[in-house]
Amino acid sequence: GESVGLHLPTLSVQEGDNSIINCAYSNSASDYFIWYKQESGKGPQFIIDIRSNMDKRQGQRVTVLLNKTVKHLSLQIAATQPGDSAVYFCAENGGGADGLTFGKGTHLIIQP
Amino acid sequence: NAGVTQTPKFRVLKTGQSMTLLCAQDMNHEYMYWYRQDPGMGLRLIHYSVGEGTTAKGEVPDGYNVSRLKKQNFLLGLESAAPSQTSVYFCASSYVPRQETQYFGPGTRLLVL
């Protein structure tokens, strides 16, 4: 889930296992959600998005699930690889500014 | 197609100095954004622009100014740098503000002593 402090939550998984990263979003008016991956020293990179008229969307090795009832978003990564090691954060389009509101991120660590 | 580029990549400033960060995008996007990212925190919006010649304040605008004289460029200025502005700054752009992903640059690391 998302962190409200200085330390990011960490998820440690074995290489080859599936990873599930969770996000609780805040604005019930949000109707568009995105997952980003940020590797060390790089900018955020788009992974997958989903609109509120869908509950599930699949990409290559990734699946995003949306539960609007409890305002919860999850990212599933199948057969996790060393290259998946990064900080993952979600974004929603609710909020005051004319753009996206970002969560604080989860650090995914891959154990060999 | 370079996407979103940022210059410089890294800079060290003394308190009170000024500098300008440059963001350029070649995707013909109308919307551009400046964020800062601090350890353990998500991206916080500083300023954004909905088109050439327009700018607006985001969540943390104090101490920063911006300009969008050309559609492809978005400049972030620090008039008098403070240690609290030590951060990593990301620029982003998008076609549509709330219905499509934003594309990010590689970031500028700024250290204010």
Radius of gyration of chain B (CA): 13
Give the model confidence (pLDDT) of B6-25 as tens digits. Answer: 999 999 999 999 999 999 99
Q: Please tell me if residue B34 touches chain A, with a CB cutoff of 8 Å.
A: no
Q: What is the least distance, in Å, from the CA of A32 to any CA of chain B? A: 6
**Is A6's CB within 8 Å of B105's CB?**
no
By the 8 A CB rule, do A32 and A85 touch?
no
Q: Please tell me if residue B45 touches chain A, with a CB cutoff of 8 Å.
A: yes
Query: Could you give the 3-state DSSP secondary structure of residue B6?
Result: strand
Residue type, A99: G
Tokens at A60, concatenated:
């290559």
Q: How far apart are the first and last CA of chain B?
A: 36
More confident residue, B100 or B50: B50
Give the model confidence (pLDDT) of A32-76 as tens digits. Answer: 999 999 999 999 999 999 999 999 999 999 999 999 999 999 999
**Own/partner long-range contacts of A11-15 (Cβ < 8 Å, ≥24 apart):** A11/A106, A11/A107, A11/A108, A11/A109, A12/A109, A12/A110, A12/A111, A13/A80, A13/A108, A13/A109, A13/A110, A13/A111, A14/A80, A14/A110, A14/A111, A15/A80, A15/A81, A15/A82, A15/A110, A15/A111, A15/A112
C-alpha to C-alpha distances, B61 to A67, B52, B77, B80, nearest whole angstrom:
33, 19, 11, 14
Tokens at B64, concatenated:
């920063």
Residue of B nearest to A98 (CA): B97
B-facing residues of A in 5-24 (CB < 8 A) are: 5-8
Q: Please tell me if residue B42 touches chain A, with a CB cutoff of 8 Å.
A: yes
* pLDDT band, residue A95 (cuts 50/70/90): low
Residue type, B90: F
Q: What is the least distance, in Å, from the CA of A103 to any CA of chain B? A: 6
Between strands B43-49 and B31-37, the pairing is antiparallel
Q: What is the least distance, in Å, from the CA of A67 to any CA of chain B? A: 19
Residue type, A46: F
* pLDDT band, residue A1 (cuts 50/70/90): very low
Largest CA distance in chain A: 42
Q: Which of B101, B102, B108 would best serve as a mutation to test chain A binding (most A beta carbons within 10 A)?
A: B101
What does A83-99 look like in DSSP terms, one character per residue? GG-EEEEEEES-SSSSS
Q: Is the pLDDT at B27 greater than 70, yes or no?
A: yes
Given A8, A43, A89, which is nearest B105 (Cβ)?
A43
Bridge partners, residue B90, by sequence: B35
Residues of A in contact with B41 (CB under 8 A): 6, 104
Distance CA A82, CA A97 (A): 36
Q: What is the least distance, in Å, from the CA of B78 to any CA of chain A? A: 21
Query: Could you give the 3-state DSSP secondary structure of residue A42?
Result: coil
